[in-house]
Amino acid sequence: MSVRTISTQPFTDQKPGTSGLRKKVTVFQKPHYLENFVQSIFDSIAAPGGATLALGGDGRYYNREAIQVILKMAAANGFGKVLVGRGGILSTPAASCVIRKYQTFGGIILSASHNPGGPDGDFGIKFNSSNGGPATETVTEAIFARSKVINEYRILDAPDVALDEIGETMLGAMRVQVIDPVSDYADLMESLFDFAAIRNLLAGGFRIKFDAMHAVTGPYAQEIFVKRLGAPAGDVINAVPLEDFGGGHPDPNLTYAHDLVEALYGDNAPDFGAASDGDGDRNMILGRKFFVTPSDSLAVIAANATLVPGYRKGVAGIARSMPTSAAADRVAQTLNIPCYETPTGWKFFGNLMDAGKVTLCGEESFGTGSDHVREKDGLWAVLFWLNILAVRKQPVETIVRAHWAKYGRNVYSRHDYEGLPAEAAQGVMKHLKDCFAELPGAKFGKYTVRFCDDFSYTDPVDGSVSKGQGIRIIFTDGSRIVFRLSGTGTEGATLRIYLEAYEADTSHHHLDAQMALADLIRIALGLSELELRVMRNKPTVIT
Ligand code: G16
């Protein structure tokens, strides 16, 4: 087996987005495309000779091929050992768990998360650091800079490694250890939650439904819910992972998790429903005929954290991404703990967790997690809810309504316009910025603009500054409209409008969010001239 040094030309489009590099599979299949990016990672992270790497992905189309390339390149770049999930599988939170548990130098995770898979779908790759979390912007910028000048990569000339059995093989001088992708993660969950209480809840007739959306969480959910917690096998649906997610869109929201939504809103509905995404880091929580927004979910988890064994000692602080509603801020205020507002992207939470400033983090984009790993964690959120339900013995809806009664309700919705021409979408953002000077003090019905800006964040731990993170229009009563361009799409531009209105009056809490936000929606469309500029008359997805 010899190391080959291959000459290559840089690609100009390897800038990591909100969460790593995401492109169409066909782009990754271009000669040298994947290899260039992997070498750019290795050239940027300065791993010591003989270092250990974790490696795995969500099992989507091209996962297996990419794993083999990365193994051979890791061997050629002086790594001593790679821990790889059996079959090349590791959910994103499980990868974070493995990096932390075995103290590896870092890990490479292959996933395009909630984006569709298959030969015409999406693929993605990102590097996570030794804390188990996504590389910081400093690192991703270094990787991008390297990708623009790279002229060669190194790869071992060797046959493919067998990945379907647990065990060890040598690839040149590098050891490849194939590990069970589920057990370390399931053990970690069992150490945090009261499995006995949840088992009793399920044995007592409480019915759940978990939708794995034919993505990576199927085997994890079967191990945890069916094997360890005693749920009937039929409670986990779409449990077999498929390379194309069965043609579906593995995004756990009310639009795409339709099998689950039908079950929870149908006759004889289960008591609790949940879904996770392509790589297992997102979650959606449903009660019987009741949707819990991700922002509310974070707030309820924070308010009830001490009911859960792993969090009995309390929560040091909470962090949420800027577009996420301020529901968690109200809990933090009551608990007298800090609440941090970061840009969109889980990578911004890592420093805060490492410094012990926060325990819980959450995002409106169906992401919730804690410092048990450094990724958001879908099944963790589901177990957190089940643990709360096992203790409180009340329906999901009752718990959320009681929460609103105590803290007020941050009515919330996100409207996405997907697949827009990039120029038109950028035109909307520019137009909004051009309005900044005249907006403060402007009145729109009952709303008066307090201030507007393009959100900028200074990391309180390392002082790094991230600018241009979304346009905020904040009204005097705390209501907000936020405009942002997504950093995870692969086709055209996706423009997101985030809408939030605070409602203290309990007699209004029953209102449908779209109705309660109707005025803000009108203001957002009027101010942005969006419909005219992008030629659309309705959002693609409303969550
Ligand atoms: C990623 C990031 C999240 C972010 C989400 C949406 O999630 O990890 O932090 O909130 O994308 O980002 P955007 O609004 O830029 O599309 P995932 O689940 O796709 O890895």
Class of domain 409-542: alpha beta
CA pair distance 174, 158, nearest whole angstrom: 12
Residue ID of nearest Cα to ligand 1 atom 17: 113
Ligand 1 contact, 345 CB (< 6 A): yes
- 255: pLDDT confidence band, cut at 50, 70 and 90? confident
- 433: pLDDT confidence band, cut at 50, 70 and 90? very high
DSSP state of 492: S
Radius of gyration of the chain (CA): 23
H helix intervals, 408-454:
422-434
Residue type, 31: P
Which atom from ligand 1 is nearest to the alpha carbon of 279?
18
Ligand 1 contact, 122 CB (< 6 A): no
CA pair distance 543, 537, nearest whole angstrom: 17
Our CA angle for 341, 344, 347, nearest 5°, is 95
State the pLDDT at residue 1: 76
State the pLDDT at residue 487: 85
Two tokens at 110?
A: 């292959």
State the pLDDT at residue 184: 98
Active site residue 113: yes
Two tokens at 50?
A: 């003989």
Is residue 490 predicted with pLDDT exceeding 80?
Answer: no
Ligand 1 contact, 365 CB (< 6 A): yes
- Catalytic-role residue among 113, 147, 321, 479: 113
3-state secondary structure 279-300: CCCEEEEEECCEEECHHHHHHH
Ligand 1 contact, 58 CB (< 6 A): no
Ligand 1 contact, 85 CB (< 6 A): no
CB 112 within 8 A of CB 490: yes
Residue ID of nearest Cα to ligand 1 atom 7: 19
State the pLDDT at residue 18: 79
E strand or H helix at 249, and its extent? none
Which atom from ligand 1 is nearest to the alpha carbon of 488?
16
Residue ID of nearest Cα to ligand 1 atom 18: 113
Q: Which residue has the tokens 């639009």?
A: 255
The DSSP secondary structure of 443-483, one letter per residue, reads EETTEEEEEEEE--EE-TTT--EE----EEEEETTS-EEEE
Residue 380 Cα, ligand 1 centroid: separation in angstroms?
18
Among the ranges given (157-171, 272-286, 483-497), the one the predictor scored with the smallest mean pLDDT: 483-497
pLDDT one-digit tens code per residue, 356-378:
999 999 999 999 999 999 999 99
DSSP state of 369: E
CA pair distance 137, 135, nearest whole angstrom: 7
Ligand 1 contact, 63 CB (< 6 A): no
Instruction: Look up the CATH superfamily of 2-181.
Output: Alpha-D-Glucose-1,6-Bisphosphate, subunit A, domain 3 (3.40.120.10)
Residue ID of nearest Cα to ligand 1 atom 14: 486
Ligand 1 contact, 26 CB (< 6 A): no
Residue 394 Cα, ligand 1 centroid: separation in angstroms?
32
Two tokens at 395?
A: 């329906």
| Residues 6+ away with beta carbon under 8 Å from 209 | 235, 237, 260, 263, 264, 270, 272, 273, 274
pLDDT one-digit tens code per residue, 145-158:
999 999 999 999 99
Ligand 1 contact, 363 CB (< 6 A): yes
Please state, in angstroms and as integers, the Cα–Cα distance from residue 52 to each residue in 56, 82, 133, 174, following that order: 14, 6, 16, 9
DSSP state of 512: -
Residue ID of nearest Cα to ligand 1 atom 13: 486
State the pLDDT at residue 488: 81
Residue ID of nearest Cα to ligand 1 atom 3: 345
Ligand 1 contact, 115 CB (< 6 A): no
Nearest to 4 by CA among 66, 53, 77, 67: 77
Which atom from ligand 1 is nearest to the alpha carbon of 494?
16
Question: Phi and psi for 57 in degrees, rounded to 5?
Answer: -150, -175
Residue 135 Cα, ligand 1 centroid: separation in angstroms?
14
Strand order in the sheet with 208-211: 236-237, 208-211, 272-276, 283-287, 290-292
Residues 293-320, mean pLDDT to the nearest whole number: 97
Write down the pTM of the prediction.
0.93
More confident residue, 533 or 182: 182
Check if 2-181 and 409-542 are the same fold: no
Question: What topology does CATH give the domain 185-407?
Answer: Alpha-D-Glucose-1,6-Bisphosphate; Chain A, domain 3 (3.40.120)
Please state, in angstroms and as integers, the Cα–Cα distance from residue 270 to each residue in 135, 180, 208, 264, 511, following that order: 39, 31, 5, 6, 23
Please state, in angstroms and as integers, the Cα–Cα distance from residue 182 to each residue in 93, 96, 246, 491, following that order: 11, 12, 22, 33
Residue 362 Cα, ligand 1 centroid: separation in angstroms?
11
Segments making up each domain of the chain, as ranges: 2-181, 185-407, 409-542
Residues 286-311, mean pLDDT to the nearest whole number: 97
Residues 336-364, mean pLDDT to the nearest whole number: 96
Residue 179 Cα, ligand 1 centroid: separation in angstroms?
28
Residue 345 Cα, ligand 1 centroid: separation in angstroms?
6
CA pair distance 236, 225, nearest whole angstrom: 8
Ligand 1 contact, 470 CB (< 6 A): no
